[in-house]
Amino acid sequence: MDEAEQSVGQLQTLPKGVVRISTVVAFGRLHIVPRLAQFFASYPDIHVDVRMNDRVVDLVQEGVDVAFRMGKLPDSTLIAKTLCCSPMVTVATPAYLKSHGIPQHPRDLKEHDCVIYTDLARSYDIDYLEEGDPLRVRVDGPFLTNNTEAMRAALLSGLGIAKAPKWLVGDALNSGELVSVLDGYQTNPIDIHAVYPSGRHLPSKVRCLIDFFAEQYKQCDMIC
């Protein structure tokens, strides 16, 4: 009877309900959805609604509990928890590099077909570091996109070369589908955050999800 009463007490305190997540498309497919089976095994009463879109959403207006965002965050009333960091890498397929040559210096990218991600403030400028000093290179290329999944597909298809966060291409680097170049010139890693609205108590179901992914990402070499 004691064990039964304890089990009932635990069931009454287990977090439950729907957690609504916002994330960019490729990050959701690569690093959120594949881990949900393990999350559900630990929290069977929590349902997860994953909303994938590369635009920045208004969490309050769209009823989102937590968003996964990358890089430097703008000033806002949102609360942010840093989950991990992701190095920046410049990558292309072996076939592309064989055909176009391996860049030895960031300025060599001016002669390459670069995959352009258009949602950045300066889409055609790529930042590097040379002996600790900032170096900005103006690039160009025939393929442009505002979608992380399309950017990844373009790189894997050999359409060009690009600087990208490791979370986007880490598995392809491990498999050899993509090759990293200009490693000695890369800028600092970018942070990956979980952000959520302030001004209210954080539900246990949301806290459990954030803590779960923070622990998951610490162990993942495709991100960190």
pLDDT tens-digit map of 28-47: 999 999 999 999 999 999 99
User: Strands 125-130, 133-138: parallel, antiparallel or unpaired by DSSP?
Assistant: antiparallel
Segment among 2-11, 54-63, 168-177 with least mean pLDDT: 2-11
Examine the domain organization and report whether 62 and 131 are in the same domain. Answer: no
Residues 93 and 171 in one domain: yes
Task: Please give the residue range of the domain that contains residue 203.
Answer: 2-84+191-218
Average pLDDT over all residues of the chain: 91
In this model, does residue 25 exceed pLDDT 60? yes
13 occurs within a structural domain: yes
**Is residue 223 one of the residues assigned to a domain?**
no
List 23's β-bridge partners, or say none: 52
The pLDDT of residue 1: 45
- Check which CATH number belongs to the domain holding 162 and give it: 3.40.190.290
- pLDDT over 90 for what percent of the chain? 76
Clarify whether residues 75 and 93 are in a common domain: no
Say if residue 99 is in the same domain as residue 171. Answer: yes
Q: Quote the number of domains for the chain.
A: 2
CA 3, CA 127: separation in Å to the nearest integer? 60
pLDDT mean over 67-87: 88
Instruction: Tell me, yes or no, whether 73 lies in a domain.
Output: yes
**Which long-range contacts link 79-82 to residues 24+ away (Cβ below 8 Å)?**
79/195, 79/196, 79/197, 79/198, 80/193, 80/194, 80/195, 81/193, 81/194, 81/195, 81/210, 81/214, 82/191, 82/192, 82/193
Q: Are residues 201 and 176 in the same domain?
A: no
Q: Is residue 179 part of a domain?
A: yes
Is residue 224 included in any domain, yes or no? no
Q: In this structure, what CATH number is given to the domain that contains residue 78? A: 3.40.190.10
What is the predicted pLDDT for the residue at 102? 98
Q: Are residues 37 and 98 in the same domain?
A: no
Q: Give the model confidence (pLDDT) of 164-181 as tens digits.
A: 999 999 999 999 999 999
Dihedral sign for Cα atoms in the order 215, 190, 65, 147: negative
Whether residues 113 and 156 share a domain: the answer is: yes
Whole-prediction pTM: 0.87
Regarding whether 28 and 78 lie in a shared domain, the answer is: yes
Q: How far is CA 29 from CA 16, 83, 168, in A?
A: 24, 18, 10
Residue 43 and residue 23 in one domain: yes
Whether pLDDT at 218 is above 80: yes
pLDDT tens-digit readout, 101-155: 999 999 999 999 999 999 877 889 999 999 999 999 999 999 999 999 999 999 9
Residue 48 in domain = yes
Count CB atoms within 10 A of the CB of residue 26: 22
Q: How far is Cα 218 from Cα 97, in angstroms, rounded to an integer? A: 32
